[in-house]
Structure 1
Amino acid sequence: MGDERTDDETFAVSPPADEYLGYLLDDVVSDHMDANRRLARRAVNIVEAVDFAERRPYVYTTADGELATKIAERAVVFDVSLRLQLGEKAVRDLIRLTRDARRWLPQLWRRAEEGYVALPLVDSTLAGAYRLLPAPDATKEEKDAAAAAVRELDSRADDWAVACTPAGFRSRLARLVEKLDARRADERHAMALRDRRVIVEHAGDGMSWVSALVPTLDAVAIKRRLTATAKHVAKDRAETRSRDQIRADLFSGWLRGAGTPTAVKTKVFVTVPVTLLAGGGDAPNPSVPVETAEIVGHGPIPPLVAKQLFLDAKAFRRLITDPVRGVVVDMDRRVYRSTGAQRDWIVLQHHLCTRDGCTRLAMEADIDHDVPWSQGGKTNLRLLRPLCPPDHGRRHQTTFAYRTRENGTVEVSTPTGYTTPEEPPF
């Protein structure tokens, strides 16, 4: 018992509180820099893997020539995405960032490899460098001036990386790029105009955001028309919606062409349990599994929305499901075109592309034969599966192996030795 210490004795040999806290915070900084270094090294390794695959395409495909190189490049990106559980676009963005940063921002990239700067800040700086790069038909003087501007950007960003917060870095970056950009405002607008696009983001609870990057003049005109029409609609004494709700409804109706000869006719699969139509879904019994309506591939929708869809539908197809498991077990055979019925059945059964991790909709997928048609495969429901076009192409153009499990999902084995794991049940 002689080696026991009192609390006072233990405190006496412990480091001071401020010194100990300093050790902890130094470790935090060290770990942060290590993480930056590892991510930069991972990016470099991915680029090297792509370069290697392009030089040796036979790893992924039996094709020849330029086609083999293209297939191998797409295949190794897919291989990386499976292993890292990242989307292929995220992998391609990482490859683009690494290659372009090493080319245009060598000083800042060195800081990334040393751990002083995170890759998102490198990407932000690259966006500024892209603005400064000359047009393909630029004169030699214009190209020289652009190269000098990019070098200055790299040098200044190199200094900021070790002395500025991310917010300070981005603020200085924006001011410097604006100063170095020699193009006229109309030229910059023409470049930005190329990026116009529409984005749909699902917000849950049966709602989604629809965003569009359009010229500011068009955006102002759209808002003014929506507001003017909403003001007129709001004058109706029976109207109970807010101005924002009216604008949102007008926006949706105009884009869908509601009430016009060109109204959208896109097929949308919606499953509505009969218990909801009968009112049973409003007050569920906790001892009975709750059935929910859903837009196939997009998720649940509220019972009232489901009932309204059913009432508005001009025609519907009867579907028989297992009342306990809620899975499709049969389908009304009052369908004229067999191939159409098979596709509808497969969409309702799988919702998404069946390849592990893929979230593309089954209704936009190709119908793939589990046993290839050329090898005697049969066109029946038990042997068909939805594969999105990229996966369908890879299945037949590369040496990736696609195998259907008992539960209908598809595992992928890569020629480099990786097999996708089966996802746990929901």
Structure 2
Amino acid sequence: MNGLSGPNEGAPPGDDAVVLESDALERAMLSTFDGLVSSAQSAERIVSASMALRAAQIDKLRVWSEAMVAAEGPAAAGSEPHGWTPAVRGRRELVFELACALRIPESTADRLFDESRQLVNVLTETHAALREGEISYRHAQVMVEQTATLPDEAAADYERELLPFAKTLTVAKFVRVARKKREVLHPESITDRRQKGLEERRVWLDPLPDGMTFLGAHLSAEIGVAAHGRLTEIARAQDAPGDDRTLAQKRADALGDLLLDGDTCAAEGDAAGAAGGSGAGSGSGSGSPAGTGHGIRPKVLVTVPMLTLLGKSEQPATLEGYGPIDPHVARQLAADAPSFTRVLTDPVTSAILDFDRTKYAVPADLRLVLRVRDEVCRAPGCNSPAVNCDVDHSVDFAQGGTTCAGNLSHLCRAHHNLKHHTRVRLRNPGDGRIEWTTRAGRTYVTYPANTIGAPPGSAQAGAPPGDWPPPGDWPPPGDWPKTDGTIGPSPF
């Protein structure tokens, strides 16, 4: 063979063909695999290009809205109560319009307008890279965030130096590089910028699935690092035989104890662990199967279906500001509550008792029922808890509107002002729905979290007249369970 060997020399005839066939199959599969990777890259470029187009269109919308406000001319003297100038009113209408159209929170819509203006008018090279699919929108957002407080001239220099990194690094690595470069190029001292940053400190709550939630805090760096360090020290000091919690779980339990009681209550937690199993050890009970801890003092609204409270049903209760919670936890909270307000709900329709009032002031019992009905502000996309909102007469009391559930709804202060000081209109049909009409004439409908219905004995949706509540499932008239487990008079 002239010193050359074949692909499978010495093998029986036919094996060479098998090897060649196998190699061809592998090459074909790798080619298809590579093609799919390329397709994913192409799809990502299309997404980036779409984000660039969205930014351009949103900025055009902003410019057009400002032009419409300017065309209206200056406001008449005395027609701008509480600072509602034509520019302020136009911006609020614009943000509300986009938020409803894209089904996003108004804070997100407001941020989109600012990001789009920065990309289209200042960070033009970043916008072009986004349009060509060279960077993702998250990379562009990082560039916007890092240049937001820079003068336009400094922002242009910063963009030219940072954009090559955006084209090659992941977002997380790009953020680290961008922050370092910003410290070098920023004309203001870090001391001055820290003072501005402190004005934005806050705490927020994000509900999560499965009875959990995320409690976040935006703090100064030294406080955040020190707080995390203290939680770590507390967690490591709580090692005990039989306690199989992870360090992360112990940190979370220690945080709950400190916020609720001011200490970690280790002795009580250990006692709970002995009684309830190895998972316990925290007084807050945040990760413990032993139940709700001693630190929980119900100052929130928990709506418990009566059959659940009586132990005849496992239908979830509702924790205000969160949503469905474990029936066992709800019964514990009800039993431990120093006072207890009962809200009668239909076990079939979940309808709540209605009220009818003729005075302007909303009485406490009606406020409570409305709070259970709405749970949050009734504006589209707004999740401000009802407990922090105003109770608004949809039709003003002075114009014949009544103080009844069909004419009342919870609006946060921002949307209460939006209703009164802009051309956004609200209509309450009286059946629980709230209809919002924007400046552009588009209508968006919000629905209550819970249904308000007629009192016991009347016809209910889903139940024949006279069959509400179902016979035998409720205590006799006048006999209702109290928080101490005894039976007392009906609250209705």
Q: TM-score range by the shorter chain?
A: 0.7 to 0.9
Name the counterpart of 1:173. 178
Structure 2 counterpart of 1:122: 140
Match of 1:70 in 2: 88
Native 8 Å contact 2:406 2:428 kept in 1:
no
Distance 1:276 1:248, change over 3 A: farther
- Quote the residue 2:300 is aligned against: 268
> Partner of 1:360 in structure 2?
384
What is the identity, as a one-letter code, of the residue corresponding to 1:69? A
Distance apart, 1:362 and its partner CA: 2.1
Unaligned runs of 5+ in 2: 1-27, 266-294, 451-492
Cα-to-partner distance string for 1:255-285 (whole Å, 9 max, x where unaligned)? 69x9xxxx9999521112333333323xx5x
SS of 1:89 mapped into structure 2: helix
Correspondent of 2:128 among 89, 93, 110: 110
Return the alpha-carbon distance in structure 1 between the equivalents of residues 229 and 164 of structure 2.
Answer: 46
**Which residue of the other structure, out of 202, 208, 211, is the alignment partner of 1:206?**
211
Secondary structure at 2:217 match in 1: strand
Q: In the alignment, which residue of structure 1 is the partner of 2:67?
A: 55
Q: Which residue of 1 aligns with 2:439?
A: 415
SS at match of 1:352: coil
Question: For 1:351, which of 364, 368, 375 is the aligned residue?
Answer: 375
Q: Which structure 1 residue ranges, 5 or more long, are not aligned?
A: 1-15, 135-145, 285-290
Q: Which TM-score applies when normalising by structure 1?
A: 0.73
Q: TM-score, normalised by structure 2?
A: 0.64
Q: Give the CA deviation at 1:42.
A: 1.6
> Which of these residues, 105, 109, 127, is aligned with residue 91 of structure 1?
109
Q: What displacement does 1:342 show?
A: 1.8
1:206-285 mapped onto 2 (5 Å cutoff)? 206-219=211-224, 221-222=226-227, 243-244=250-251, 247-254=254-261, 267-281=299-313, 284=314
Aligned mates of 1:361, 1:299 — CA distance in 2: 11
Q: Kindly provide the CA deviation profile for residues 52-105 of structure 1, in whole angstroms up to 9, marking residues without a partner as x.
A: 222323999996577122111110110011001111111111111122234442
| Higher alpha-carbon Rg | 2
- Could you say what secondary structure the match of 1:355 adopts? coil
Task: Give the equivalent residue in structure 2 for 1:151.
Answer: 156
2 CA distance for matches of 1:366 and 1:204? 28
Q: Find the aligned partners of 2:237 and 2:35 in 1 and give their Cα distance.
A: 66
Distance 1:416 1:187, change over 3 A: closer
- Contact 1:355/1:409 (8 A) holds in 2: no
SS at match of 1:393: helix
Which amino acid in 2 is paired with 1:410? I
Distance in 2, matches of 1:385 and 1:177, equals 47
Note the C-alpha offset of 1:294.
1.5
- Please provide the CA RMSD for this pair: 4.3
Distance between the aligned counterparts of 1:350 and 1:276, measured in 2? 21
Distance in 1 between residues matched to 2:448 and 2:381, nearest whole Å: 12
Name the SS for the 2:344 alignment partner.
strand
SS in structure 2 at match of 1:176: helix
Identity, % of aligned positions = 26
Q: Distance in 1 between matches of 2:392 and 2:354?
A: 21
**Alpha-carbon deviation of 1:409?**
1.9
Instruction: State the secondary structure of the residue aligned to 2:116.
Output: helix
Matched, 1:376 2:400: yes
Hey, what's the Cα distance between the residues in 2 that align with 1:157 and 1:226? 37
Q: Which one has a larger percent helix, Structure 1 or Structure 2?
A: 1
1:399 to 416, 420, 423: 423
